[in-house]
Amino acid sequence: MPASSRADFAPLTSGNGVSLMAATTGPDLAAAGWAETELLASGTARSYGEHPDAAYRTRVVVRRPADAAASGTLVVEWLNVSSGSDAGPDWTYLAEELVRRGHAWAGVSAQYIGVEGGSAAVDAGAGVSGLKGVDPERYGSLLHPGDAYSYDIYTQVARGLAASLGASCVLAVGESQSAYALTTYVNVVHAHSTFFDGFLVHSRPRSAMPLGEPGCGIDLTARIAAAPTPIRDDVDVPVIIVQTEGDLFGRLAYLAARQPDAPLLRLWEVAGAAHADRFQIGEFESLLGCPDPVNRGQQVYVVRAALRWLESWARGGSAAPSAPRLSVAGSGFSFDAVGNVVGGVRTPVVEAPVEVLSGTAAPDASPICQLFGRTLPVAPDLLTTRWPSRAAYLSAYESATDAAISAGFVLAEDRSAVLAEARPDLLPG
């Protein structure tokens, strides 16, 4: 075991302020009575291979209620480094739920590339110099010994924060490359650390991240097509896997690792959703240069519901509901008359459709646009046949919203936001 089982912390205050890539600002934390702090986290970490312990100095961004009204739950996100810079995609999806529930959130720079720099797995137009290159004054003292130590760094930071905040429930979350890492964490590391109370694994590829080597990061592009790796079904804490339609085929090819539910494991596959979407990219969509509008599906509401279920389940509540799988026919999906996929977790935009929501982009789209899927129009005659009036459409959309809430895949608190996304303007007057 490492010399210290939890990280030590000191404030990070110099330089240009917190560096954390995001396309949308999220809730107004100050108005909500929340505080954001950034900490230097240090300690000595172990590897899960045959490597000696190593010292580390990384950073963690903490967002939490400023008063004592916190829920006692700490949500720890493994920050995503696919662009070469730290990003918190699950903060973007979950922020509204975190704030209204009073859950503290921490984003951990667990991987080598985010700190020291290296090659980006996805060309997002961002630099790959790592935190130390972005702001040497603020982050110059950071030291990452390599991704062989990333799992224990993540554990130690989470353990130290939980102790300092008095958290009674600690949940691990991560999206895309971070979900790739959490797959390995659940399968290998959790049995040794036995710390986290639950895992939200969001949009993982078919394989699992290697245990890594000292002094370098994981080469995701070389490993993402490795052997399919389901998450172990004998884990002793709840695990919810949320996959989008766009994750099952193509680059991530998750279908080969698809697995049945187990007593403490649920798999939700979201129809009409892409690996990344308009909610994630916001007003910067045009900068992607995609040939079609990016996916405008409603996975955000499903991910929020998954976190709600995970926290309750981890605290001894009812198990999360099981979900039907997306319908696969041969080497692709089955589609309905409009062109949306059949099966899976159904949100109103696919149950009462006025657009085709695809997890797959055009064949000639760039690698990053492939992740964002696309949104296509429905033929006017088909729209008219399906929806004889705007009132009929709006009634069906509202019924689909209430059905998703009743099934547990959308939260009642999000009902107004979901209803506001109806598109009667796409129908003839």
Least confident span in 126-140, 146-160, 203-217, 320-334: 126-140
Domain containing residue 115: 1-168
Question: Is residue 333 domain-resident?
Answer: no
Phi-psi region of 395 (alpha: psi -120 to 50; beta: other; left: phi over 0): alpha
Encoded tokens for 217? 């990061």
- Give dist(CA 319, CA 223) in Å, integer: 33
CA 204 to chain centre: 9
Percent of the chain with pLDDT over 90: 88
Structural domains of the chain, count: 1
Question: Is residue 244 domain-resident?
Answer: no
- Give dist(CA 240, CA 200) in Å, integer: 5
Res 3 pLDDT > 60: no
Encoded tokens for 65? 């209620």
The pLDDT of residue 1: 40
- The mean pLDDT of 301-328, rounded to a whole number, is 98
- Give dist(CA 124, CA 134) in Å, integer: 16
Rg (CA), the chain: 21
Cα–Cα–Cα angle for 200, 356, 175, rounded to 5 degrees = 20
Question: Is residue 85 domain-resident?
Answer: yes
pLDDT digits (tens, 9 = 90+) for 45-71: 999 989 999 999 999 999 999 875 689
Nearest to 333 by CA among 364, 357, 298, 301: 357
Question: Is residue 175 domain-resident?
Answer: no
CA torsion through residues 35, 36, 40, 46, sign: positive
- The mean pLDDT of 168-178, rounded to a whole number, is 97
Beta bridge partners of 202: 175, 242
- Give dist(CA 45, CA 283) in Å, integer: 40
pLDDT digits (tens, 9 = 90+) for 80-103: 998 888 999 999 999 999 999 999
The pLDDT of residue 259: 98
The pLDDT of residue 191: 93
What are the φ/ψ torsions at residue 60 (nearest 5 degrees)? -140, 135
Question: Is residue 290 domain-resident?
Answer: no
pLDDT digits (tens, 9 = 90+) for 368-388: 999 999 999 999 999 999 999
The pLDDT of residue 2: 42
SS3 for 63? strand
Least confident span in 206-220, 242-256, 288-302: 206-220
- Give dist(CA 379, CA 72) in Å, integer: 50
Res 251 pLDDT > 70: yes
Place of tokens 């000595």: 44
Question: Is residue 74 domain-resident?
Answer: yes
306, 268 Cβ separation under 8 angstroms: yes
- Give dist(CA 205, CA 253) in Å, integer: 6
The pLDDT of residue 123: 59
Question: Is residue 204 domain-resident?
Answer: no
The pLDDT of residue 75: 98
The pLDDT of residue 9: 97
Percent of the chain with pLDDT over 70: 97
202, 174 Cβ separation under 8 angstroms: yes
The pLDDT of residue 158: 98
Cα–Cα–Cα angle for 90, 368, 281, rounded to 5 degrees = 45
Write the DSSP string, 326-377: BPEETTEE-B-SSSPBPBSB--HHHHS-SEEEESS--TT--HHHHHT-EEEE
The pLDDT of residue 330: 87
The pLDDT of residue 125: 43
CA distances 38 to 17, 35, 58, 153, 320, Å, are 9, 10, 11, 16, 33
Label residue 32 by pLDDT band (50, 70, 90): very high
- Give dist(CA 245, CA 237) in Å, integer: 26
Mean pLDDT taken over the chain: 94
pLDDT digits (tens, 9 = 90+) for 184-229: 999 999 999 999 999 999 999 999 999 999 999 988 777 777 899 9
The pLDDT of residue 221: 74
- Give dist(CA 294, CA 283) in Å, integer: 12
Question: Is residue 88 domain-resident?
Answer: yes
pLDDT digits (tens, 9 = 90+) for 220-230: 777 777 899 99
Q: Is 267 exposed, middle or buried (0-12, 13-18, 19+ CB in 10 A)?
A: buried
SS3 for 260? coil
- Give dist(CA 324, CA 169) in Å, integer: 29
Label residue 124 by pLDDT band (50, 70, 90): very low
The pLDDT of residue 69: 60
Q: At 245, which amino acid appears?
A: E
- The mean pLDDT of 301-309, rounded to a whole number, is 98
60, 158 Cβ separation under 8 angstroms: no
41, 7 Cβ separation under 8 angstroms: yes
